[in-house]
Amino acid sequence: MSRPRIALIGRFAEHTSATRYAGVVSARALLESLWLAGADPVTLLAASDGMDWTSRLEGFDGVLLCGGADVDPALYGETTVHPEVYDVDALQDDADLSLAAYCFEHGVPTLAVCRGLHVVNVLRGGSLVQHMDDHHRHVVHDVVIERGPAGIEPGPITASCYHHQCIGRLGSGLDIVGRAEDGTVEAVTIDSAGWAFGVQWHPEDTAREDPRQLGVFRALVDASR
């Protein structure tokens, strides 16, 4: 059986030893998790003249909106920026937002992870907590999934987190289906013409050891076949 091709936008990096100069990167653990789940992941460039997604997604079967730096607070109507907000990039924001909008309108199977979930919430008119008083960097905790789309089993799941922001005001068309014990939104279903799901944690961190985490990626892959 051929592997569905999953597109994800690379993240700008100021320094990468392998390239000697600034780079465009995707987390190795994320790509390997997609591969283990049966997909063939491909990193795309965020480009100001490259947002014709009808053309660029030709031959792709699904999309992963991945983690990364913070979304510009101006995009959710906030003029004061918390000093902990970091690495805001207008091109990265524009590319992620336009890709997410295209996927939901055209039914492209989509999984949103961490920043990806923030992008979706902002796209749908929601807001973010710019910096959590008790942030979740290097935190492992339990999340209870109440329900989810096809392929996501309900029940408790141990989640590896790395984020200092979270959903504030919930965007339209998002339904909360999982929270951490402290109330942080950890999983949402997304109103879309196709399969769409978002998680706040990083399932790639433990996908090799935890079948439930790998199952998050397999659900995307199965929807993309």
How confident is the model over 138-185, as pLDDT tens digits?
999 999 999 989 889 899 999 999 999 999 999 999 999 999 999 999
Overall size of the chain counted in residues: 225
Predicted confidence at residue 15, as pLDDT, reads 82
Q: What distance in Å separates the CA atoms of residue 81 and residue 67, rounded to the nearest whole number? A: 20
Predicted confidence at residue 170, as pLDDT, reads 98
Instruction: Answer yes or no: pTM beyond 0.95.
Output: yes
Average of per-residue pLDDT values in the chain: 96
| pLDDT bucket at 19, cuts 50 / 70 / 90 | confident
Q: Is the pLDDT of residue 192 over 90?
A: yes
Instruction: Please provide the CATH number assigned to the domain covering 5-224.
Output: 3.40.50.880
Mean pLDDT of 92-100: 98
Inter-residue contact 179 to 91 (CB < 8 Å): no
pLDDT in tens, 97-127: 999 999 999 999 999 999 999 999 999 999 9
Q: Which residue has the higher pLDDT, 13 or 129?
A: 129
Q: Is the pLDDT of residue 1 over 80?
A: no
| pLDDT bucket at 14, cuts 50 / 70 / 90 | confident
Residue 65 host element (H or E): strand 62-65
Inter-residue contact 102 to 184 (CB < 8 Å): no
Predicted confidence at residue 3, as pLDDT, reads 97
